[in-house]
Structures are given as C-alpha cells and as structure tokens.
Structure 1
Amino acid sequence: MSSPKIVAIHGSERNHGNTADVLEYVGKVLAARGVELEVVRLGDLRMSPCGPCGDCNSRTVPCALEDDIPGVVAQMARADGILYTAPVHGFGTGALMQAFIERSGVGYMRFDRPLTNKVGGVIVIGRRYSHTEVYSHLMTNVLLNRMIMIGSGFPAIVYGNQPGDVLHDDEGLQMVERMVNRMVDLIHVLREHRELTGRDGLDTDLANERDDRWFAARHSPIDDPWTTTSCANGITRANCPKRTWTRGGWSGWTSYCGTCATSRTSIAGTCRGTCRSPSCPSPPRRICAGRCAPC
C-alpha cells in the first residue's frame, strides 16, 4: 500500500508568510508519520474569477472558464486528506481562498463530489479577530464536499501578524499537531477498512445533493404534471423508479437509455446530468431531469 498523501490548499497571497510557516510545521509532523504533504499555493495558480454567465445552478457540465483549477481538483481527488489553510483578511476568509472555494466547488466538485470520504482539516491564521468565523466557513465547505472531519480538541487556530509570529503561538501549533495526527489516524482506519472489505463503508449512491428525492420534491413546481403526463413508454414521474427533477420542472429531452430509451419528447426546461448506467453506450448519453433520469 502506498504512503498516505494530504493535499494542503495554501490560501494566502504570500508564499513565505505565516501560512507557509504553519504548513512547514505540518510537513514535519506528517513526515514523522510517513505521510506526504503536497502544498498547492493559490497565489501561484492561474485562477479566473467567476464570470458573469450566471448559469452555475443549471449547468450539467463543469465550468467553461479555462484556468488551473481543474488540475488542482484532480490533485485533491487523488489524495487521502485535504487541508484548507487560510489567513483572516478583512474580518473574513482571504480572497484567494474564497475565490478557490467558488471556482472549485461550484465549477467542478458539485457534480459528483470527488472529495467524498476524504479526511478534511482546517487551519486558520490571523492577528486577532474573526478566526472562528473563518474556521466555520471553511469547515462548512469541508462538510459540503462530503469530507470527514475528526475532532481533535480546540480548533486549529494560530495567532500571528508579522512573518514568523505563528511559530511563537505554542498552543496554536499544538492544536495543529493534534488535528494533523488525528487526520492521519483516521486515514489509516479508512484505508484498512477498504483493504479488508473491498468497499467504502460510507459510500453513497447520490452523485450530488440535486439527486436527492426529498430535495427534488421540495423544490418541484406546484403545477407539475406529477401523475398525469407520461413518457413515450407510458411511465409517469410518480411511478418512475429512477425519477429526479429540478426546480425548473420537466426538462427537454435529447437521447436516453434504460427505461426511457425510446422517448424523444420535448416538454420544457434544460438538459441535466449524465447517464451512469453500466449498459449505457460509451460515451455516456446526455439525459435530463424529470423523467426516469438518471438511468
């Protein structure tokens, strides 16, 4: 079995400031445990800001903006653990980290949650105020992406202003060390379980939150033709075993597989999703919300 790997997102514009000092400390702790640390410095990336297109909530494919974010997401997906490390700027999360969360999360990770069941951790660095607010913000994004956070005592918050100050916050560094060691412990537990059972004990069949039937029903239009309108195979939304839908109602159809393979009816809305059925021809056909989708 290969050595575990943790990817740390360095969310500061300064590559040699307090955030870097804390990550250097983390690297030493992990090296003693036989774990590799890969640091992604957001300040070195080509990262486009979110554009004016405004179609994030209806897109069915990753963002069209071209920058370095897809490569970082792929790097994170190959790791065992993810560490969000960010400074407090202007009483909130540093701008680079916020931009990364928006671009990586909304633009790419929302579709199939590639960080599911990875071990997540958060470190916040700052002078005096708003540390816990930033910590809560980053923790929420860890949980949104279905990562696992493990308790380790007080949050990993380190105080410092001038470069090098954080190295004098003994208690803060102790919290960082405890969290990192607990992350490694959990990584080993999850790896051992997968090796023994051949499966992920926390696996889910929901690709993302929009596949959840409660969410779909909660946001479906009141006047939706729920039990009356059927597809070409005579199957209504009420009795389709694979039903999912979106706030926009039933969507336009292109080509299908599985239950609704012969239906090419157009009703309304926009296409969403990709068929994941093993019987679907390659490359997967596009499918739409509302009728027997995803196959």
Structure 2
Amino acid sequence: MKKVILLSGSPNKVGNTVQIMQECEKVIKNQGLETEIISLAGKSIHSCVGCRKCKEIKRCTIDDGLNEILEKVKEAEGFIIGAPVHFGTARGDLMNTIQRIGMVSYGTDRFLSWKVGGPIAVGRRGGLSTAYNEMLMFYFINEMIVPGSTYWNIVFGKEPGEALKDTEGLNTVKRFSENVAKLITKIHN
C-alpha cells in the first residue's frame, strides 16, 4: 500500500500542528493510502555538520534519531511537513531534520525525487508565508512534486485547538492532502 509520512515539527505533542497533521491524515486515509505521523516532540535533531559521509554510508553519521525518520521517508511515496511558526520562521529542529534528509538524498540515490507532498505552516499570525516559502525550497531542490490547493497551506491558531477553528485554513490543507493522495495514486498506478 502507498504511504504518506506526515512530520510534525512541533515540540508540543497535542498542539495545533499535530492536530492539523491528524486532520490531513484522515483525508489521506479516506483516499485509501496508509499514513504515519511522526512528531519531533521530545527529540533533539541537530543541524548538518557538512561532513558529507552520508554519500559513503547512505545515512547520516549523527546518531540522534534522524536516521529512523529518514528510513520511513525513504520508504514512503509522500512526505508532508507541518511547522509551528513561533518567531516568523519554521522551527530550527524541523529545518535541521529536512535539511539532513535532503542532504542524504542528494548525496546518494536521490530517493526524495518524485515523492509527493508539501509544507504546512501553523501559527498565530506573522511569518506564516515566509515559513511556508522557506520549507518549499526543500521540496523543489529535491525534485519533489507539490500539488496545489485552494490557497497556501497556512493555518492560523495560537492556543491548542484554535487552528481547527480556522475553517479556510483547515479546508485548504484538507484539499491539499486529498490532492497529495490522488496524485500518488495516479503516479503509482
């Protein structure tokens, strides 16, 4: 069965970002695909040190849990990332995670190429567009396919649960998730 990995970059296991990932998961499952939500809560993913040893060993040399995430992404056909935006950009540990996954892919067999997915930015107000665009660069440099939606994948909410009340944002990411699932199905039939 085709699978989509949804990565929540929030340090909060029950916050808005995870809740939005859960809503996306429901839509993708309804399209007949398997899903898994991976949370960075409780993890400490370090930044890439530029050693480039990943080219030789086909994984990252830093032993902080990233390789387990990387293997799951490698096996999946889809990859969606959700970022809480606290200070105008995506959280650093989320960016560390995707940059290191991208470095391993880029340095080896380019396993990210043709995976379908995209970013979702979740936050109270400022910086959501900047964070969304920042994360899009990961997808494009890795030859990934990002389907559109009815608007950009931005959801507003501060306190846990508030993002689920942003009807427009929620509908946008649900449509995006449906498009991810449909595209994966079309590509892999």
Asked if TM exceeds 0.5, the reply is yes
1:28 is matched with 26
Shift of residue 44, structure 1, vs aligned partner = 3.7
In 2, Cα distance between equivalents of 1:60 and 1:7: 24
- In the TM superposition, residue 60 of structure 1 has moved relative to its aligned partner by 3.8
**2: CA distance between counterparts of 1:14 and 1:82?**
20
Could you tell me the percent identity over the aligned residues?
Answer: 30
CA–CA distance in 2 between the matches of 1:31 and 1:104? 25
Q: 1-side partners of 2:123 and 2:149: how far apart? A: 20
Match of 1:175 in 2: 172
* Counterpart among 4, 7, 15 of residue 5 in structure 2: 7
Give yes or no for the alignment of 1:109 onto 2:109.
Answer: no
Per-residue deviation, 1:40: 1.1
Which has more radius of gyration?
1
Correspondence 1:261-276 to 2 at 5 A: none
TM superposition score normalised by structure 1? 0.59
Letter in 2 for 1:77: K
> Residues 59, 122 of structure 1: CA spacing in aligned structure 2 closer, same or farther, 3 A cutoff?
closer
8 Å CA contact 1:11, 1:43 repeated in 2: yes
Aligned residue runs from structure 1 range 20-59, under 5 A: 20-45=18-43, 47-51=45-49, 54-56=50-52
Shift in Å at residue 46 of structure 1?
5.2
Q: Matched residues in 2 for 1:84 and 1:77: separation?
A: 14
- Rounded to whole Å, the distance in 2 between the matches of 1:179 and 1:16 is 22
Aligned to 1:281: none
Distance 1:140 1:40 in 2: 21
Preserved CA contact (<8 Å) 2:149 2:173: no
| Contact 1:48/1:66 (8 A) holds in 2 | no
Structure 1: which amino acid aligns with 2:68? G
The 1-side partners of 2:61 and 2:97 are apart by 15
| Aligned position for 2:151 | 154
> RMSD over aligned Cα, in angstroms?
1.8
Q: In 1, distance between residues paired with 2:60 and 2:127?
A: 31
Which residues of structure 1 form unaligned runs of 5+?
A: 193-295
- 1:148 aligned counterpart, secondary structure: coil
Deviation at 1:66, TM superposition (A): 1.8
Which residue number in structure 2 is paired with residue 142 of structure 1? 139
Alignment check: 8 A CA contact 1:15 1:43 kept: yes
Does 2:97 align with 1:96? no
**Cα distance in 2, alignment partners of residues 46 and 132 from structure 1:** 25
Amino acid at match of 2:33: V
Question: 1:19 and 2:6 equivalent?
Answer: no
8 Å CA contact retained: 1:88, 1:126 = yes
What 5-or-longer segments of structure 2 have no aligned partner?
none
Match of residue 166 from structure 1:
163
Tell me, yes or no, if structure 1 residue 86 matches structure 2 residue 83: yes
Q: How does 1:108-257 map to 2 (within 5 A)?
A: 108-111=104-107, 112-192=109-189
User: What whole-Å deviation, never above 9, does each CA across 1:133-158 have from its counterpart, x for those lacking one?
Assistant: 11111111011121111122311110
CA contact (8 A) 1:10 1:84 kept: yes
Specify which structure has the higher proportion of helix: 2
CA contact (8 A) 1:11 1:86 kept: yes
Question: What CA distance in whole angstroms lies between the structure 2 residues aligned with 1:60 and 1:80?
Answer: 22
CA contact (8 A) 1:89 1:95 kept: no
**Count of residue pairs brought into register by the alignment:** 186
Which structure shows the higher strand fraction?
2
Secondary structure at the residue paired with 1:109? helix
Contact 2:44/2:93 (<8 A) preserved: no
